[in-house]
């Protein structure tokens, strides 16, 4: 087979690659592609030694079919033959941007120990897929085993839910991510805050809206005050950005202010506390509302100042236009008068 591959012309190789790309990417051909994968899985002769003797192009075809990734067909992909063999045998991560040798370290993880080909560095614990997203709330991680999971997959599997507060008073709750691998619960507020504080200023409007959407989905079932407040504000800011009622920079300033204001709040609605706790909680709520009011007052003052400047500029422009108009009118009248005078002289 390797000799046959050597004899193939470039046009045949490229048409075969295009055929495989279509099989991989076109939804209507999914059954045809799965059938091809099943036939490949039934092959018992594709051992390490057999694959090492394959032509590299043939090996790229086999790896693309096994992994379902068209990236291995790209001219920009530069993998050694040995690396392609390891990917095919599920001994190396199929993510071209990762390519770590597997297993990395199972850390007692039931996913790593049972899912051959799973890479704990870049793959989701639920769907076992990877992407190139970073600096985002679309992935959530475990504080203990450092495994990662898509936020959407976590919500679908109910892995993000209220749990006993790790740092707050006994009996209080907070939103947590429950790792499917080790069962550890990681609090979400600090993670969300860190992502926004570190990255939000670099996001464009579309990205900021997507991140706010993740936040409101993550906190939609929150029971504690901080979580509820974050859910509501994320929803409000998302709506205002969608309707162009607020700029991305103003939205970032608002969310930063929100994080800094509620970081010390330990208010939990369903828990009965002492009068002092209730007073402290109400004080925290008042501080949040005061901060919001100050922020909007500042924005309103800036807007009023800008409006005054625009009105002043409009008046100046209007005066200039009027002056130009009367000047042109005067010249036109002068021209008409001169024309009538010449006609009178001509008749005389």
Q: Tell me what the mean pLDDT of segment 143-149 comes to.
A: 89
pLDDT at 268 over 70: no
CA Rg value for the chain: 33
pLDDT at 348 over 70: no
pLDDT of residue 191: 93
- 328 vs 163, more confident: 163
CA separation, residue 129 to residues 139, 237, 292 (Å): 12, 30, 40
- 219 vs 329, more confident: 219
Distance between alpha carbon 86 and the CA centroid of its chain, in Å?
Answer: 31
**278: pLDDT confidence band, cut at 50, 70 and 90?**
very low
pLDDT of residue 88: 95
Distance between alpha carbon 88 and the CA centroid of its chain, in Å?
Answer: 30
- 236 vs 346, more confident: 236
> Nearest-CA neighbor of 104 among 95, 91, 94, 114?
91
- 283 vs 114, more confident: 114
pLDDT at 91 over 90: yes
pLDDT of residue 299: 60
Quick: pLDDT tens for 187-205.
999 999 999 999 999 999 9
Lowest-confidence segment of 8-22, 277-291, 296-310 by average pLDDT: 277-291
Instruction: Evaluate whether 72 touches 84 at the Cβ level (below 8 Å).
Output: yes
């Amino acid at each position: 087979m390797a000799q046959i591959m050597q004899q193939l012309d470039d046009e045949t190789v490229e048409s075969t690659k295009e055929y495989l790309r279509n099989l991989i990417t076109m939804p209507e051909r999914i059954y045809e592609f799965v059938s091809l994968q099943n036939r490949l899985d039934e092959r018992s002769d594709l051992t390490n030694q057999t694959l090492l003797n394959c032509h590299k192009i043939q090996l790229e075809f086999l790896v693309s079919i096994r992994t379902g990734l068209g990236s291995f067909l790209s001219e920009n992909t530069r993998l050694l033959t040995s690396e392609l063999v390891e990917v095919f045998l599920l001994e190396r991560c199929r993510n071209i941007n990762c390519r770590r040798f597997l297993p990395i370290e199972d850390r007692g993880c039931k996913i790593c120990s049972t899912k051959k080909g799973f890479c704990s560095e870049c793959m989701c614990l639920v769907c076992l897929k990877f992407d190139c997203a970073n600096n985002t709330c679309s992935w959530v991680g475990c504080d203990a085993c450092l495994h990662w999971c898509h936020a959407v997959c976590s919500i679908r599997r109910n892995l993000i839910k209220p749990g006993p507060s790790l740092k707050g008073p006994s009996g209080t709750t907070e939103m947590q991510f429950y790792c499917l691998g080790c069962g550890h619960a990681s609090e979400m507020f600090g993670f969300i805050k860190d992502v926004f504080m570190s990255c939000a200023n670099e996001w464009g409007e579309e990205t900021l809206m997507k991140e706010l959407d993740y936040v409101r989905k993550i906190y939609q079932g929150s029971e504690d005050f901080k979580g509820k407040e974050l859910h509501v504000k994320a929803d409000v800011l998302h709506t205002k950005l969608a309707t162009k009622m607020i700029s991305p920079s103003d939205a970032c300033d608002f969310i930063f202010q929100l994080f800094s204001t509620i970081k010390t709040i330990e208010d939990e609605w369903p828990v009965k506390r002492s009068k002092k706790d209730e007073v402290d909680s109400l004080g925290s709520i008042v501080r949040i509302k005061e901060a919001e009011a100050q922020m909007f007052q500042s924005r309103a003052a800036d807007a009023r100042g800008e409006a005054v400047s625009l009105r002043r500029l409009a008046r100046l422009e209007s005066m200039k236009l009027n002056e130009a108009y009367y000047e042109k009118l005067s010249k036109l009248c002068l021209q008409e008068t001169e024309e009538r005078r010449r006609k009178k002289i001509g008749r005389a």
